[in-house]
Amino acid sequence: MIDFVTDPLSQEFIRRALLEIGLISLAGGALGCWVVFYGVSYAAESLSHALFPGLVIAALAGLPILVGGIPGIAVAALAIALVGRTPGIGRDTAVAVVVTGFFGLGALLALSPNSPPGIQSLLFGDILAPSNSDLWISAILALGVIISLVVLHWRLLAVAFDRTTAGSLGASPTIADIAVLILLAAAVLVAAQGLGTLLAVAALVGPAATARLFTHRVLSMMIAASAFGVCAGVAGIYISYYAGAAAGASIAGCIVAGYLIALIASGVRSLLERTAIPAEAT
Amino acid sequence: MAEALARTHDLAAGYGRTPAIEGITFEVDTGQRIALLGPNGGGKTTLLRVLLGELRSMRGTVEVRGRAATVPQTERSRLDFPVSALEVALMGALPRLPWWRRPTHADREAALAALDRVGVADRAHDTFGDLSGGQRQRVLIARGLVQDAQLLLLDEPFSGLDMTAARGLEALIGELASEERGILIATHDLSQARRWDAVLCLNKRQIAFGEPDQILDREVLEETYAGAIVEIPGSDRVGVLPAHHH
């Protein structure tokens, strides 16, 4: 039994993968709560898809993919912000056009004949093979996200609670929105590095949605989301090790499975509570 | 004569080029409770935002001495948001903190004291959305007290409250006013407005300002509410048709 746990740990690539998923889950889980409260899940999805060409260009140039990811996500965010202002087509449509456009561009580059093999790892991630520089950049971004969330906590709380009066409390809704989007971009970069542009959003939204079912304060929700993200990540890596399944997909699968179990459990709990009240009353 | 907490002279304010309100000349002194009467869209919120400093005047002058705090309708906040009553009251400490600072232990004590002052200390650790309408209104008033506001701006604080909760809140407003504060209460309740110290009638412009007995006559109410007033059978008074929300 102990071997079951320690066997994978003897492997260097598993230890690195656990470190990487830990960084993704800590930052992604905590920030994911604000992603849920600020209603920017769609923006998270859009950013992670639209940064694909940046990653491909970095991979083609042989750079750490986060080096391409940072300008990639900046260009994507700028395009989304600009096109979102186009009158007449609606924000969602505009964002969808930008995202598919960018994603298509990335695919075009990735599928060209002179692309190196393994570029599909940008789509589904390569959690098992982060380089030292990937890990360092991930650690810096994740730490930056967490420190920012600690510092900005009360302002984000005031705006999420009531946008209309937050301004009179010295918490500008516009600044809070921008802060959440910048942190989101940083967290998407970290998550996309390990889980790929298609699965990154799972690590951001899934743990927060799960934690919301069982917590009653934002802080406990953030801690629970990070902890759940780490557990799902570790479980996914072990499943991938023993079952030979793709690591990124196993992790995303564990997050979704955890959410579904939590959803059923919370449903059963509220059903029990509802049936318990009349029983007590009689 | 005591200096007024807030004073405007021929104030006009709005969002585009045309003012939403104009010709506003009134003042709030310490100890006063002033009703702000007017139809929806009559400019009550616009005036409150000018007093808060969120909206600039287009014409005229506005002076506010000390701090002003808004006490919004509780339905405007997200009732499903996972935040405690204490945390909501503690948000009142944010205006005096630089953006990178978190509320301190002393702020927390002040928030607890404010919750105690408004009579909801026992619910401090409950989720805001789980409280009754009257308790939520009190928590938001506590947030204003933590802001150290001398001028409290209440936006329809009685909407959705039952009789008992409304009476309790009315008593609290009286007590807070007597503690050297001025209180402006946007309301639709005419009979309640008659019990406050002064009334400001607003319908895109100032219709009247003064003591309720002196100004609340049929003519003023007709101008304030246009056609929406009715005679109360068996009395010489008139009432206002209930406002339709949403």
Res B77 pLDDT > 80: no
Token readout for A241 is 């090790």
Comparing C-alpha atoms, which of B203, B188, B243, B242 is closest to residue B22?
Answer: B203
Distance CA A245, CA A240 (A): 4
Chain A interface mutation, best of B87, B96, B126, highest count of A Cβ atoms under 10 Å: B87
Contacts with B78 from chain A: Cβ below 8 Å: 160-162
The values of phi and psi at residue B63, to 5°, are -125, 130
Distance of CA A13 to the CA centre of its chain: 22
A157 contact B CB<8A: yes
Contacts with A158 from chain B: Cβ below 8 Å: 91, 94
Distance CA A86, CA A76 (A): 16
In angstroms, what separates the C-alpha of B238 from chain A's closest C-alpha? Answer: 34
Is the reported ipTM for this assembly greater than 0.90?
Answer: no
Give the pLDDT score at B243.
Answer: 52
Contact call for residues B227 and B63 (beta carbons, < 8 A): no
* Domains present along chain B, CATH in parentheses: 1-66+151-163+181-246 (3.40.50.300), 77-149 (no CATH)
- Answer whether B69 sits within 8 Å of A170, measured CB to CB: no
pLDDT tens per residue across span A64-122: 777 888 888 888 878 877 877 777 777 788 888 888 998 899 888 888 777 776 677 78
Report the residue of chain B nearest A151, measured CA to CA. Answer: B100
Confidence of residue B245 (pLDDT cuts 50, 70, 90): very low
Residue A10 is part of a domain; what is its CATH number?
Answer: 1.10.3470.10
Distance CA A132, CA B150 (A): 58
Report the residue of chain A nearest B126, measured CA to CA. Answer: A216
Contact call for residues B48 and B24 (beta carbons, < 8 A): no
Give the closest of A154, A155, A216 to B82, CB-based: A216
Comparing C-alpha atoms, which of A125, A118, A259, A97 is closest to residue A198?
Answer: A125
- pLDDT above 90 covers a percentage of chain A that reads 44
Distance CA B154, CA B170 (A): 12
Give the pLDDT score at A80.
Answer: 75
In angstroms, what separates the C-alpha of B79 from chain A's closest C-alpha? Answer: 8
Contacts with B54 from chain A: Cβ below 8 Å: 167-168
- Answer whether B94 sits within 8 Å of A154, measured CB to CB: yes
Res A133 pLDDT > 60: yes
Cβ within 8 Å of residue A259, ≥6 positions away: A206, A209, A210
Containing structural domain, residue A127: 2-281
Cα torsion B130, B134, B138, B141: sign? positive
Give the pLDDT score at A44.
Answer: 86
A242 contact B CB<8A: no
Query: For A207-221, B126-140, B188-202, B231-245, which range has the lowest pLDDT when averaged over its residues?
Result: B231-245
Query: DSSP class of residue B102?
Result: P
pLDDT tens per residue across span B33-63: 999 998 888 889 899 999 998 888 999 999 9
Give the closest of B70, B81, B102 to A153, CB-based: B102
- Answer whether A158 sits within 8 Å of B91, measured CB to CB: yes
In angstroms, what separates the C-alpha of A25 from chain B's closest C-alpha? Answer: 21
Contact call for residues B84 and B124 (beta carbons, < 8 A): yes
Beta bridge partners of B84: B127
- Answer whether B76 sits within 8 Å of A162, measured CB to CB: yes
Distance CA B62, CA B47 (A): 10
Q: What is the pTM of this model?
A: 0.87
- Count of domains forming chain A: 1
pLDDT tens per residue across span B203-240: 999 999 999 988 888 888 888 887 666 666 655 566 66
